[in-house]
Amino acid sequence: MSGRIMGLDYGTRTVGVAVSDELGITAQGLETIFRKSPGKLRQTLARIQQIAEEYHVSRIVIGLPKNMNNSLGERAEDAMAFSQMVEKRCGLPVEMWDERLTTVQSERILMEGGVRRENRKKDLDRMAAALILQSYMDRRSFEDLQ
């Protein structure tokens, strides 16, 4: 595999960003991109493209917020529309990845780490992106072993 993988946790006002190491083994939360209104994506897409170029990303994974019964709701449709914009902007392959419970898991990790409630939000999306990316890479390495 050449190049790093980027993980994105898409939300209405934020996008959490994570990148893999060069070997595609570990995910590191990088940043949370904030935007002033839900529909304003131009600057968000430009920042994602900038990070992709800076880290020599070869693939992007975006969390797909499925409902617990495995159905797709409005948030999932928004994430899929966003993935098409990212793919068009960056010219890289984009995959959707089931992200159920990553935000809950992120919150628990931050709480256990002693991060104060008022500081958690800025770290939450970045952490969720890292968990999405890590589970994607773990599954790929598991499948490679089969």
Query: pLDDT tens for residues 81-98?
Result: 999 999 999 999 999 998
Cβ proximity of 86 and 8 under 8 Å: yes
Q: Which tokens hold the place of 49?
A: 């493209």
The 8-class DSSP code of residue 70 comes to: S
The pLDDT of residue 132 is: 94
The pLDDT of residue 2 is: 65
Q: At what angle do helices 102-112 and 117-145 cross, to 10 degrees?
A: 120
The answer on pLDDT for 61 being more than 50 is yes
Return the CATH number at 95. 3.30.420.140
Sign for the pseudo-dihedral over CA of 111, 34, 63, 50: negative
Residue range 128-137: mean pLDDT, rounded: 92
Q: Do the bridges between strand 4-10 and strand 27-34 make them parallel or antiparallel, or are there none, so unpaired?
A: unpaired
Nearest one of 10, 64, 54 to 32, comparing CA atoms: 10
Cβ proximity of 120 and 133 under 8 Å: no
Instruction: Collect all residues with Cβ–Cβ distance below 8 Å to 2 and sequence separation of at least 6.
Output: 58
Look up the domain containing 73 and give its range.
4-145
| Residue 24 backbone class (left: φ over 0; alpha: ψ -120 to 50; beta: rest) | left
115 pLDDT tier (thresholds 50, 70, 90): confident
Cα 7 to Cα 20: distance, rounded to the nearest angstrom? 8
The pLDDT of residue 146 is: 62
Residue range 10-18: mean pLDDT, rounded: 93
Q: What percent of the chain has pLDDT over 90?
A: 55
pTM for the whole structure: 0.88
Work out how many domains the chain is built from and give that number.
1
